[in-house]
Structure 1
Amino acid sequence: MIDPRWVFVSAVLGMAGSVRYAYAIVRGTVRPHPVTWSLWAAVPLIAFSARLDSGVGLPAVQTLVAGAGPLVVVVTGVCTRRNLARLGAFDLACAVAACAALGAWLGLGEAALAVVSAVAADAAAALPTVVKAWHDPASENLLFYVLVGTGATVTLLTITSWSPAAWAFAAYVLTLSVSLVAIVSGRRRALRYA
């Protein structure tokens, strides 16, 4: 394991990715999905407080930035009123599922179960962006997911206590980031040669 203070590198990578994504919104090169990004802001910020309650320590910084960065994206999207993806029934169903998982999480007294519920809520929130990335890979910014995935890897390397409360959220973020990089780059390649 590496020094726990490396988690600050993870935080910087995550925030840099979010600022880059926000800049891409202003330039008109990406379209954030409002359901995904709103819940990506809310869920980690709540998970951060749960992780603090469980005494996780410095690895919780990655979770804080995982919420603060998307909040920057949401505010940029709303303020510019540009390039927000449209909402459909599937998107709303994912939002309801994420909110239900979030509600279950908030009702749980145990920090480890709360973090697992937070991961489920965040994953439900991610589905609209995964679908959007499949259909319109040009609407996503690969660098964001590379930076966030790298930050999650750094966070995992700093963990000294392998309780689910310590590692579950960072492992989920890494898995999601790798998946989205694969989807976006693979679909861009497939569409280019189709």
Structure 2
Amino acid sequence: MLDPHWVFAAALLGVVGSIRYAIAIVRGAVRPNLVTWSLWAAAPLIAFFAQLDSGVGLPAVMTLAAGAGPLIVIITSMITRRHYAHLNIIDLVCAGVAVAALTVWLGLGAAPLAVLFAVAADAIAAIPTLVKAWRHPDSENIFFFVLVGVAATITLLTLTAWTPQSFAFAVYQLSICLILTTLIATRRHAHQRSPSGRA
């Protein structure tokens, strides 16, 4: 069990990962989907305020960083105009789940359930990136997902109370980062071994 204040180191790792992703945007190495990243910012911020409402405490710091990081990416992509904003059914479903999370939290006062809705919204928003990582693994920054995964692990190691509102977002973030890191690494390896450069 780590000291709860380690969550600040976890948050810093997440922000550093986002800054590195923003630098990759400036260099033209990545081109984020503005809709997806906007939802990636909204869902954690909803979860963060719901966690505060539930009295989660310091573990909420990582959730705040998980929302602030995508904001850095969004601002950078808008300034450099290196993004695309293609609204599809997945984005609409994710937005609907995010609105449901806000309704559950603000309308019904059910903050713990709102955290779970926010996790669901974030997971749905990850689907386009999973598809993109499968088709074009070189278009993603693997180091970003490694840093966020480490940050989630640190946060989980600081938990003293294992309630859904305290661990759900960190467990989700660790899981999605492990999936994306593995997917990107294996697909890049497959592309390198393929004579045509395609798997």
TM-score of the two chains, using structure 1 as the length reference: 0.95
Q: Deviations over 1:23-68 (max 9, x none)?
A: 0000011121222211111111111110000000000000000000
2:197 is aligned to: none
Q: Deviations over 1:117-138 (max 9, x none)?
A: 0010001111111111111001
Aligned-partner residue type, residue 44 of structure 2: P
Tell me if the contact between 1:18 and 1:144 (Cα under 8 Å) persists in the aligned partners.
yes
Moved more, 33-42 or 176-185: 33-42
1:101 is aligned to: 97
Provide the aligned C-alpha RMSD in A: 1.0
1:92 to 73, 88, 92: 88
Matches within 5 A, 1:63-78: 63-78=63-78
Tell me if the contact between 2:25 and 2:77 (Cα under 8 Å) persists in the aligned partners.
yes
Q: CA deviation at 1:177?
A: 0.4
Q: 2:84, 2:183 → 1: CA distance?
A: 18
Q: CA deviation at 1:85?
A: 4.4
Task: Among all aligned residue pairs of Structure 1 and Structure 2, give the percentage whose two residues are the same amino acid.
Answer: 56
Q: 1:28, 1:148 → 2: CA distance?
A: 22
1:3 is aligned to: 3
Runs of 4+ residues over 6 Å off in structure 1: none
Q: Structure 2: which 5+ residue stretches go unaligned?
A: 195-199
Tell me if the contact between 1:10 and 1:152 (Cα under 8 Å) persists in the aligned partners.
yes
Q: CA deviation at 1:183?
A: 0.7
Helix, strand or coil for the counterpart of 1:127? helix
Give the greater-gyration-radius structure (CA).
2
Q: Is residue 135 from structure 1 mapped to residue 131 from structure 2 by the alignment? A: no
The count of residues paired between Structure 1 and Structure 2 equals: 190
Matches within 5 A, 1:1-194: 1-82=1-82, 84-85=83-84, 87=86, 92-108=88-104, 109-194=109-194
Aligned-partner residue type, residue 92 of structure 2: V
Q: 1:36, 1:180 → 2: CA distance?
A: 15
Aligned-partner residue type, residue 46 of structure 1: I
Tell me if the contact between 2:22 and 2:73 (Cα under 8 Å) persists in the aligned partners.
yes
Q: Structure 1: which 5+ residue stretches go unaligned?
A: none
Q: 2:141, 2:184 → 1: CA distance?
A: 9
Aligned-partner residue type, residue 145 of structure 2: Y
Aligned-partner residue type, residue 175 of structure 2: T
Q: 2:149, 2:84 → 1: CA distance?
A: 23
TM-score of the two chains, using structure 2 as the length reference: 0.93
